[in-house]
Amino acid sequence: MIRHAKSDWKNGSLHDFERGLSSKGYKALNTMSAYLSIQKLKPDLILTSLALRAQITADKLAEEIGYKGKIHYMDELYNSRPETFINVLSLQDESYESIFLVGHNPELTEFSNFLLRDNFYKFPALGVLALELTIESWSEIVENCGEITFFIQPKQFKYYVPKQIRTILSERAED
């Protein structure tokens, strides 16, 4: 699960659904996508909210990690209850072992807490929560079926950016 990058609030006339990303959001997106590339994390499918900031996040992540698969832009993932996430995931093909779900807070926090035995506090902007689900099929999603594999967020790179990430960011800047 991935929360969208930090959104842009400069244009107060835009509807919430239409807000893009701030410059800080783009910078964090570059860093986080570099981290995911280094970890060789590529999903089999990306599902994202239709809100502009989520679409931009999903598209940029996909591009930067070299993902060539499908991205499904879904109105259902905007302002939804955990039951909606369950319904969306339960309909996915069994061939997908790994899915990136790009959305919003508090919805992602609520869904995480449904899946986890432990309480997950709150998704920060561009937080990435990887879960291992103890299910054989997407249709088997139930409460407490997940365990945290890892959690990362942009603040982890505020004071120190590992050399591998700096190298990727430098290469991208040259392109």
pLDDT digit string (tens) for the chain, length 175 residues:
999 999 987 766 667 678 789 999 999 999 999 999 999 989 999 999 999 999 999 999 999 999 999 999 999 999 888 899 999 999 999 999 999 999 999 999 999 999 998 888 889 999 999 999 999 999 999 999 999 999 999 999 888 888 888 888 888 887 7
The reported pTM is 0.90
Looking up tokens 């103890």 gives: 134
For 86, list phi and psi in degrees, rounded to 5.
Answer: -60, -45
For residue 147, give the 3-state DSSP assignment: strand
Question: Is 108 domain-assigned?
Answer: yes
Residues 6+ apart with CB under 8 A from 13: none
With 0-12 CB in 10 A as exposed, 13-18 as middle and 19+ as buried, what is 161?
middle
Host H or E run for residue 103: strand 99-103
Question: Is 16 domain-assigned?
Answer: no
Question: Is 17 domain-assigned?
Answer: no
Question: Is 15 domain-assigned?
Answer: no
Question: Is 138 domain-assigned?
Answer: yes
Q: Residue 153 CB: number of other CB atoms within 10 A?
A: 17
Q: Which domain holds residue 95?
A: 2-9+22-174
For 114, list phi and psi in degrees, rounded to 5.
Answer: -70, -45
CATH number at residue 30: 3.40.50.1240
Looking up tokens 């599902």 gives: 47
Question: Is 93 domain-assigned?
Answer: yes
Question: Is 14 domain-assigned?
Answer: no
* Cα gap 152→163, rounded to integer Å: 17
Question: Is 88 domain-assigned?
Answer: yes
- If one counts the domains in the chain, the total is 1
